[in-house]
Each structure stands twice: as C-alpha cells, then as structure tokens.
C-alpha cells in the first residue's frame, strides 16, 4: 500500500521590528544652534524611518539646556519615562556629550536602561551600551566630556572676569527701579519713588516685614507681580546698584557640573565700578542703612521691633536639643489668651523630634522670682542678672547668672489650679448652659439655655417623653429646688408658637430667634421675651394638665379599695400562678 505524506504550508516568520528613538540636544540658545538641533532631528527621523527593521518611536530634543544635569532636561526625562513604559528598544544619539556631560549621570542612566534591556548607541564614538566593553569605553569618554565641560566653564569664567575688569557687566540683569536702554541703566520714576520710600522708612525704625506689609496694603507688588516679603525687601535695601555704582561677582559658580552658586564673601575677587549710571539713593544714605542693618543684627531678635518679644526671648534653652524656647499665645474656649513657652524643634518638627516639656509663662515667672528672691517677677531684674535658663527634663530649671554662678530649682505646673478659680468655674458653667456659647451647641435643643425661671432664676431643662399613641413629646421645666420654686413647665410646641407670634413669623425660625431675642423668662403662666435691642414683650400661656393632683382623702380611699380587693384567696391564687410561671421558665426559687 502506498504511503501518502501531507506537507503543510509554512508561513514566513516576520521579524519583530525594534522600536527606535533618538535624542538630540544643544546647550546654547542661538539661531545657529537652533538650526543644528533641527538638523539633528531631521537626520534621525529619516534614519529611523528608512530602516525596515525599525519602528519609529520619536526624536526627543532639548534646546538651550546644559548637559551637566539631567533633572532640567524635560525631553530627556520624557524619553526615560517612555523607556520605563516599555515603548522603546533602542536609543540613538550623536555623541556622549549630547547625551550627558556628567560622568555619574551618564553611567547611572545607561546602567538603568541596560537593566530594562534598552540599547543606547553613540554614533560618533561607535559605542553600543549592551556590548561587552561598552561601559568601560563610556566611563573613559564620559570623563573626557565632563572635563571638557569644566574647561569650557573655566574659559567662560575667564572671559567674564575680563569683562568685569573692563567695567562691563555680565549681561543685562533685571533690577527694580531701572530699565535697560541700549547698554545703560535708566531710572524708572515710579519704582524709584518706592525705593526711596523704603530706605526712608527703614531709617525711621520700620522693619523689613513692616515695609513689605505697608507696600501690600497700598497694592504695590514687585515687577514680577509677587508680594513684598522680608527677603525681597532686603535685596532692595542692600543693593549697591542704587547708588549709581556696580559691584561685579557678588555670586560665583562653585562647581560647573552641579551649577551650584554661592554668595561671594571674599572667596573670589569682586570688582567695584563707579558712576556707571544715575543714582536713586545717595551713597551716604545707603551706607547709613547698612550700618543700621549691622546694629539690628548685633541686637539679634531684639533688633526687629515687629517681633513680639519678652524678657525670656533667646534666654530659655532646651536641655534636649539645645534650641531656644519661643512663646506662643494659646486661646482657650472662653476666648482668653495665655502664653506657653515651647522648644523650637518641638514646635517645628513635633514631639518625636524633641520630647522637651512646655512651660506656662506664669510658671516661668514664678520660678524666676523665687530664684531671684523676689515677691513677684521683675523683668528688669531678670534681664540684668540672668544670662540663660536651661530646661532639663520635666521638672528642672537651671538659671545661669552673668556673674558665673548657677541655681537649679524644681518646678511643677500649676496652670490648671491657677486658671480654674471659683469665679472662672462659675463663668464656665454659665457659658455651658447657653446654647450660643457652648462648644457642643450643635447637640442642643432650640431653647437650651434660653428659658429662665422668673421665680428662682434657674435655667429650664428639657424632658422628653411619649404619649400613649407613641408620639414623642418635649417639655421644659425649671431646674430649681422643688420645695422652693413652683413655676409651671411649658411644652416645646407652645414655646415655639409663642416665639413665632412675638416675632411675627409664619413658622418657627431658630436662627431668627437667636438673632433678635437674648432670652425668655417664665413667671406663673406668662413668658417675657427679652430682645437684644433692650425692649421686652410678654405672652400668656396655659398648657392643659395631664390630670388633677390627688387629695389626701382620695389617696386614703384608694388604699382602702386596694385592701378590700386583695383577699387571701386572691393572694393565694396569685402565688400559685407565679410558682407555675417560674417552673415553666425555670426561674430559680427565692
């Protein structure tokens, strides 16, 4: 028998195309560099799209951004995000210098892409990051690129200093009060008046914070539309450019790779150029402001009168972290303010950063008076004799005197007992009785603390109940002694009806009542409403009683009736019935 073998048709296997992107960058903003960047983008777009084995994944290009840092390169970071998302397999770039001039950033980025299985090809150096010797070559060439960047930076710095020596500024900087016309600073009259006012106010004693607040009250903002605060007011008051002269290299670049800038305190030479433009502030006035700066700085916090300081400021030191204590006003529920001293670390970072104990100011004053041997705290005596107070643990204070000796004393907070006097306790109770002053007023009824007894002066209290049909009821009764006050109660619906009537409303409105009426008093069956404007109005009421009080004769008759009905036979029958119920429900016998 013949054997037949079927040969299946084989489909051609198509290779998966690689998703390829390119990265381009130029570091200078100029027409020539922009043309160079466009040329790079066009070149890589065409290169990728004409390769049949590649799929175009885009060209990412940064314009006018240095390659020494990666965090400011938006397109570079967007490309890395696409890599993280798995949308890129290969990255093409012109050279190592275009990719990164920082050796650490370059190697970290390439290694991370290598972990993701992404290849980076450097065209000029002919390096493939996934090849065996790729990383070694990258390390060597990246170091050269970094040093080249450093060399370029040094050349730029040399050219800048050369211009400084010739009295030429490094570009046209922005400064409030002036504008550039050609290559010269020209005064802006409106802004110049503001600057003169700021200098004058500072010499009159105003702080920088107060000057900023005054400008904001007048609706004056910086040229960028931002509010005036301590920092930008300081820039105005310390800028020597307002004297008509220029000081070059007030700042310098500490590292060309990190681009970190530092204020020049003499590490680098500075260049002072006189009479470069018209002055807004005379030199002698500017120097007087700088001298005032120094005087206030030497005084420390006491040189800033906008700060609310006391004799204890800068003198209370935390024994845990070494920071000074600062005082803060606390407001209790009665609206009164009291002061507490707290460690700055604890205040800023929380109790987990410093477990020092807060000290009430009154307690601190009492301890100081005791150490100084005074009957009461004397601020002048404290300032003259005590240099520092160290807070140790929860109950110890060490006082260091200017003459060198120390006194250690124990303290215990008596804030609660000092504060909770009989008078304040009574006031607190009265506040809590009223709905409008109690912190839990949202839990109260409409007339809580509103109705007072005209007989004994006590407040009325609400009692809730239910009628036989299950309807809830609410009535208000005097809380005074029952043997002394016999004022009647009043139903809740009756009170609401009277309020609606006295205010001329269509229906009861609690907000309208609280706004117009202070309270109501009940005497016998008359409610008197005391309005907030001073006048009063009265309304009579007579709630139907739920029965008639029993007389002694009726009560005696009822007792005799019960005795006659409760015979021995009935009592015996009830006893047997209870025994049966207990046996059925398995109740224990007494």
Whether the pTM exceeds 0.85: the reply is no
CB atoms under 10 Å from CB of 77, counted, come to 14
For the chain, domains (ranges, CATH) are: 18-152 (3.40.50.1390), 178-303 (3.90.1750.20), 316-419 (no CATH), 422-540 (no CATH), 552-585 (no CATH)
Give the residue among 454, 524, 537 at the shortest CA–CA distance from 498. 537
**Burial of 322 per CB tally in 10 Å (0-12, 13-18, 19+):** exposed
Q: Are residues 92 and 21 in contact, defined by beta-carbon separation less than 8 angstroms?
A: yes
Give 143-150 contacts, CB < 8 A, sequence gap 24+.
143/103, 145/96, 145/97, 145/100, 145/101, 145/103, 145/106, 146/68, 146/101, 146/102, 146/103, 146/257, 148/97, 148/101, 149/67, 149/68, 149/101, 149/256, 149/257, 150/256, 150/257
Instruction: Name the token pair of 384.
Output: 């003259």
Q: Are residues 110 and 120 in contact, defined by beta-carbon separation less than 8 angstroms?
A: yes
Reading the chain (590 residues) residue by residue, the pLDDT tens digits are 567 777 766 655 556 788 999 998 877 655 555 667 788 888 888 888 989 889 999 899 888 776 556 777 888 889 999 999 989 999 998 887 777 766 667 777 888 888 888 888 888 878 787 776 666 666 665 555 555 556 555 655 655 566 655 556 666 778 888 888 887 888 888 988 998 999 999 888 888 888 999 999 989 998 888 898 888 898 889 888 888 887 766 665 655 555 566 676 656 666 667 777 888 889 989 889 888 888 877 766 655 655 667 778 888 899 888 888 888 766 554 556 678 888 888 888 888 889 888 888 888 888 888 888 888 888 888 888 888 888 988 888 899 998 888 888 887 766 556 656 667 666 666 665 556 555 555 556 788 888 899 888 888 888 888 877 778 888 999 988 877 888 888 999 899 999 999 999 999 998 889 889 988 999 888 999 999 898 999 999 886 655 566 778 888 888 888 888 888 888 888 888 888 877 775 555 54
Instruction: Name the token pair of 94.
Output: 């012109």
Strand positions, DSSP E, 46-105: 54-63, 90-93
Task: Tell me the Cα Rg of the chain.
Answer: 44
Kind of pairing between the strands at 451-453 and 517-523: parallel
SS3 assignment for 311-326: CCCCCEEECCCCCEEE
CB atoms under 10 Å from CB of 68, counted, come to 21
Question: Could you tell me if residue 552 is left (phi over 0), alpha (psi between -120 and 50 degrees) or otherwise beta?
Answer: alpha
Q: Are residues 188 and 204 in contact, defined by beta-carbon separation less than 8 angstroms?
A: no
Strand order in the sheet with 325-331: 325-331, 337-343, 359-360
* Letter string b/e over residues 332-363, b meaning 16 or more CB atoms within 10 A of that residue's CB: eeeeeeeebbbbebbbeeeeeebebbbbbbbb
SS3 assignment for 553-584: HHHHHHHHHHHHHCCHHHHHHHHHHHHHHHHH
Start-to-end CA distance of the chain, whole Å, equals 108
What distance lies between CA 210 and its chain's CA centroid?
22
């Amino acid at each position: 028998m013949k054997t037949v073998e079927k040969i299946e048709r084989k489909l051609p296997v198509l290779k998966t195309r690689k998703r390829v992107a390119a990265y381009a960058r130029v570091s200078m903003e100029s027409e020539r560099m922009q043309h160079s960047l466009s040329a790079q983008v066009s070149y890589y777009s065409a290169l990728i799209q004409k390769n049949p084995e590649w799929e175009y994944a885009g060209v990412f290009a940064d314009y006018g951004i240095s390659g020494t840092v990666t965090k400011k390169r938006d397109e570079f970071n967007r490309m890395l995000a696409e890599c993280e998302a798995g949308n890129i397999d290969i990255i093409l770039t012109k050279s190592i210098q275009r990719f990164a001039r920082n050796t650490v950033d370059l190697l970290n980025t390439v290694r991370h892409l290598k972990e993701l299985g992404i290849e980076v090809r450097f065209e000029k150096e002919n390096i493939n990051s996934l090849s065996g010797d790729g990383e070694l070559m990258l390390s060597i060439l990246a170091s050269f690129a970094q040093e080249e960047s450093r060399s370029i930076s040094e050349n730029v710095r040399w050219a800048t200093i050369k211009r400084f020596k010739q009295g030429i500024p490094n570009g046209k900087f922005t400064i409030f009060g002036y504008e550039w016309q050609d290559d010269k600073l020209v005064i802006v009259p409106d802004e110049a008046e503001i600057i003169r006012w700021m200098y004058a106010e500072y010499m009159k004693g105003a702080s920088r914070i107060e000057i900023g607040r005054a400008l904001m009250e007048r609706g004056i903002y910086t040229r960028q539309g931002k509010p005036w605060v301590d920092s930008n007011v300081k820039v105005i008051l310390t800028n020597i450019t307002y004297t008509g002269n220029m000081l070059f290299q007030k700042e310098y670049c500490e590292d060309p790779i990190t681009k970190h800038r530092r204020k020049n305190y003499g590490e680098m030479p500075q260049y002072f150029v006189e009479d470069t433009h018209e002055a807004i502030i005379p030199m002698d006035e500017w120097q007087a402001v700088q001298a005032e700066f120094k005087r206030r700085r030497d005084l420390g916090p006491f040189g800033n009168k906008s700060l609310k300081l006391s004799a204890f400021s800068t003198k209370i030191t935390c024994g845990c972290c070494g920071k000074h204590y600062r005082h803060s006003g606390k407001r209790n529920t009665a609206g009164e303010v009291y002061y507490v001293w707290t460690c700055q670390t604890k205040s800023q970072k929380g109790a987990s950063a410093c477990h020092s104990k807060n000290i009430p100011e009154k307690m601190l004053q009492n301890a100081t008076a005791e150490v100084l041997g005074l009957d009461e705290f004397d601020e002048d005596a404290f300032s003259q004799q005590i240099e520092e107070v160290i807070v140790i643990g929860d109950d110890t204070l060490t006082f260091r005197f200017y003459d060198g000796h120390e006194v250690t004393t124990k303290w215990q907070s008596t804030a609660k007992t000092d504060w909770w006097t009989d008078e304040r306790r009574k006031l607190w109770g009265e506040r809590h009785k009223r709905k409008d002053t109690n912190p839990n007023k949202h839990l109260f009824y409409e007339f809580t603390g509103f109705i007072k007894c005209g007989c004994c002066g006590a407040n009325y209290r609400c009692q809730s109940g239910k009628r036989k049909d299950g309807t809830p009821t609410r009535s208000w009764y005097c809380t005074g002694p029952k043997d002394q006050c016999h004022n009647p109660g009043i139903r809740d619906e009756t009170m609401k009806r009277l309020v609606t009537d006295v205010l001329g409303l269509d229906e009861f409105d609690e907000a309208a009542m609280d706004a117009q009426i202070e309270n109501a008093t009940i005497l016998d069956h008359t409610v008197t409403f005391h309005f907030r404007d001073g006048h009063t109005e009265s309304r009579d009421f007579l709630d139907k009683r739920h029965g008639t009080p029993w007389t002694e004769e009726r009560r005696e008759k009822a007792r005799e009736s019960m005795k006659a009905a409760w015979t021995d036979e009935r009592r015996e029958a009830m006893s047997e019935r209870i025994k049966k119920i207990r046996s059925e429900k398995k109740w224990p016998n007494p």
